[in-house]
Amino acid sequence: MVRTFATHRIRKTQELSSCLWDFETLPEEGGTVGETAGGKEAAPGKGTAPVKMKTAVPGCWENCPDTLTYRGKAVYERRFACEGNIRLEFKGVSHTAQVYLDDMRIAEHYNAYTPFSAVVKELPAGEHTLRVYVDNSFGPDSALHVPNDYQTYGGITRPVVLEELKDAYLTKLHFTPLRRDGQWYFVIKGEVKNLSAAPFEGRILLSLGEETVAEAAVRAEGNGVCGFETEETLFPQAQEWCPENPVLYLLNAVLLDAQGRETDDLIDRAGFREVRIEGKDILLNGRKLRFKAFCRHEDHPQFGCALPFAAMQQDLLLMKDMGANSVRTSHYPNDEIFLDLCDETGMLVWEENHARGLSEENMRNPNFERQCEDCIREMIEAHYNHPSIYIWGILNECASHTEYGKECYRKQYELIRQLDQSRPRSSASCQFKTDICFGLPEVVSYNIYPLWYHDTPVQDYLKGLYDWVQEESEGAGKPFLITETGAGAIYGCRTPSRVKWSEEYQAYAIEKQLEAVFGQEGCSGVYLWQFCDCNVCDSWFGGRPRTMNNKGIVDEYRRPKLAYETVKRMFGSVDTYF
C-alpha cells in the first residue's frame, strides 16, 4: 500500500514493496552490532558474517531475529520487468540510500523521512535488477541522524513504486485554498517535465471532484520543464474541511498532448480550509483553535518505524478516543499514509523537519544546513496538499539561544516561506528565558517538564514563561503553544506512594500539567509528550529505563496506562474551539 487512494489512472504504476526482497548485511563495510563500532560485543552467534535473508519491504531490519541490533550497511535487491521511461519513487529509506539499476547508479539520498525518486530513460525491454544499498550508521556525514532520544532504524522503511512515463509527465501539483468574504477560491500550480529532445506542446485539464475547474496550455522545450498556474478561481460549492467534517476533494490533473491524447496524470486530494493568525489566536476557517494533542514517534516494537496501515490507524483511533484533535510528527516528516489518514479523520497536524536537540556544535556540522534544507524542501513539496497540516515546525530544541543558531533558524524559516506562503511556522523551544528566535516565526512554542525534570508548580512555571515572552521577547503578542509536557511511567508499575516512574505519578503530573495549560490565558493548547513509549538509542539508556522513552500515555504495545483515563477526561473537558 502506497497511499490510501490511487494517485494515477493514466500513468501505469506498480508497487515494488509489500513483498519480500533479497537482503544481505555488508558488515565488512562498517556494520557493527550496537550503536558504535567497538562500543559493544557482537551478539552471540552473529559475529561479523553477513546475514542473508528474504525480508519484508517496507520494514526495519531490527525486527528480524538475525539483525536485531545491526547498525551499518546492507543491500536490498529485487527484479522487475519493464521497458521505456520509468520513474522509481522511494517514500523512505533509513537513513542513507544508494540506488542501482542494472549496476548503474541512479539515485542517492540522505534522511529516513522524506521521499526521493529517480527517472531512467529508455530502459530496454526485459528483466531488470534494482539494488538499494542502505546505511543506518552514525558518523560525521550524518548531521541529523545522530544517537538520540528515539531510534534510527535501518531498512527500506516506506513503500517503493515503479511508474512508466511517456515523454512528458507531471512532476508537481499544488493546491492552495483561499477564503475571501465567506467564499472559497483556489489556486493550482504545477509542473510538466519533458524527457524527449523535441519540444512538447499540450494542455492540462484540472478537475476537483466531478467538476473540471481549469485548463492550461503547456509548452516544454526539449528536456525542459514547464510550470502552469491557474488564476484565483471561485469554487462556490466548496464544502469546508474541518476536524468535525473533513471534506476532501479529488484533485486531478490530466496532461493531453497536441493531438488531445491522454499522456499522463497526477491525482491528489484537496481540502478547503484556511489557517490564519490573528493576534494571539490560531484560526481555522475563522474560528479560534484550541489544541489538545499528542506528540508521536513512528515507533512500534514489532515494526520499528515502518508501521503498517492498520497500526497507524489504531494510533489515530486511540488518540481520538482520548479526545485529541491534533498530532505533532515529532521529530521528522511522517509516512504519507499516516497523513492521508489524518486528512480523512480530521486530525490537525504539526509537521516538522528532522532535527532533535542539536547543540550549536551539532549545527556547525558542515552537512547540517544542506541536510536540513533538503528535508524541508522534500517535506513541503510532497506534503503541501494535505489539509490536515496546519503548521510547519523546524529544529525541535536546537540552539535557539545563540547567534549562530538564530541564523540557522532564520534561513530555514525563510526557505519554508519561499515554498509555502499559506501556513504558519514555529519551533518547539527548550531555551526558556534565553531563546532569541521568537521574532522569526508566527507561533511561539515551548516544551516544558515541570513535575518531571523539576518540581516547580506547573501554573507558576508556565505563567513565568508566558509573561517573559510577552514582556521581554519578540514573541510578544503571538500565539503561544505548549508543544511538549509529560511525565514517565513504566507500564504496570503501580504504587500507592505515587513515586516517579509509577503510573499513578504520571497520571497525577499530567492532570496538573493539563489543568495549568488549559487555564493559562493566551495559551492555544498543548501537545502531550508523548502518545506511546518509544525505543531510544543505546547511549540514551541513562534516565531512560528499558532504553525507552517511557512518557507514553500508552506503552509501546499501545496498552493504556492509568493516565489514559486522565487525559480522556481532561481533553474531554475543553472544546476544539475557544
Contact positions vs ligand ADA (CB under 6 A): 149, 356, 396-397, 430, 447, 484, 529, 549, 551
- In the complex, the smallest distance separating the C-beta of residue 57 from ligand ADA, rounded to whole angstroms, is 28
Based on CB atoms, which residue is closest to ligand ADA, 63 or 550? 550
Based on CB atoms, which residue is closest to ligand ADA, 48 or 434? 434
Find the Cα–Cα–Cα–Cα dihedral 473, 149, 372, 33, rounded to 10°: 160
Cell of 130: 534494482
Bridge pairing between strands 19-25 and 73-81: antiparallel
Residue 557 burial (CB count, 10 A)? 11
Q: Rg for the chain (alpha carbons), in Å? A: 24
- In the complex, the smallest distance separating the C-beta of residue 398 from ligand ADA, rounded to whole angstroms, is 10
Query: Could you tell me which of 250, 210, 298, 209 has the C-alpha nearest to residue 7?
Result: 250
- In the complex, the smallest distance separating the C-beta of residue 533 from ligand ADA, rounded to whole angstroms, is 11
Q: What are phi and psi of 134, to 5 degrees?
A: -120, 140
In the sheet with 84-90, reading across from the earlier edge strand, the strands are: 12-15, 160-165, 84-90, 116-123
Q: In whole angstroms, give the CA distance from residue 342 to residue 340.
A: 5
Q: In whole angstroms, give the CA distance from residue 507 to residue 303.
A: 28
The three-state (H, E, C) secondary structure of 208-253, written as one string: ECCEEEEEEEEEECCCCEEEEECCCEECCCCCEEECCEECCEEEEE
Based on CB atoms, which residue is closest to ligand ADA, 343 or 533? 533
Query: Could you tell me which of 527, 486, 507, 525 has the C-alpha nearest to residue 294?
Result: 527
Q: In whole angstroms, give the CA distance from residue 186 to residue 272.
A: 8
- In the complex, the smallest distance separating the C-beta of residue 397 from ligand ADA, rounded to whole angstroms, is 5
- In the complex, the smallest distance separating the C-beta of residue 428 from ligand ADA, rounded to whole angstroms, is 6
Based on CB atoms, which residue is closest to ligand ADA, 149 or 264? 149
Based on CB atoms, which residue is closest to ligand ADA, 146 or 430? 430
- In the complex, the smallest distance separating the C-beta of residue 149 from ligand ADA, rounded to whole angstroms, is 4
Which residue of the chain is nearest ligand ADA when measured via CB? 149
Based on CB atoms, which residue is closest to ligand ADA, 426 or 447? 447
Based on CB atoms, which residue is closest to ligand ADA, 206 or 319? 319
User: Chain centroid to CA 374: how far?
Assistant: 14
Q: In whole angstroms, give the CA distance from residue 28 to residue 13.
A: 36
> Is the Cα torsion angle 275, 278, 279, 281 positive or negative in sign?
negative
- In the complex, the smallest distance separating the C-beta of residue 297 from ligand ADA, rounded to whole angstroms, is 8
- In the complex, the smallest distance separating the C-beta of residue 550 from ligand ADA, rounded to whole angstroms, is 9
Based on CB atoms, which residue is closest to ligand ADA, 88 or 444? 444
- In the complex, the smallest distance separating the C-beta of residue 430 from ligand ADA, rounded to whole angstroms, is 5
Based on CB atoms, which residue is closest to ligand ADA, 163 or 533? 533
Based on CB atoms, which residue is closest to ligand ADA, 341 or 482? 482
- In the complex, the smallest distance separating the C-beta of residue 232 from ligand ADA, rounded to whole angstroms, is 39
Q: Which residue has the cell 508501521?
A: 307
- In the complex, the smallest distance separating the C-beta of residue 4 from ligand ADA, rounded to whole angstroms, is 28
Half-sphere exposure in the Cβ direction for 281 (13 Å, CA): 12
- Angle, vertex CA 461, rays to CA 459 and CA 464, nearest 5: 105
User: Chain centroid to CA 238: how far?
Assistant: 28
Residue 199, SS3? coil
Based on CB atoms, which residue is closest to ligand ADA, 194 or 549? 549
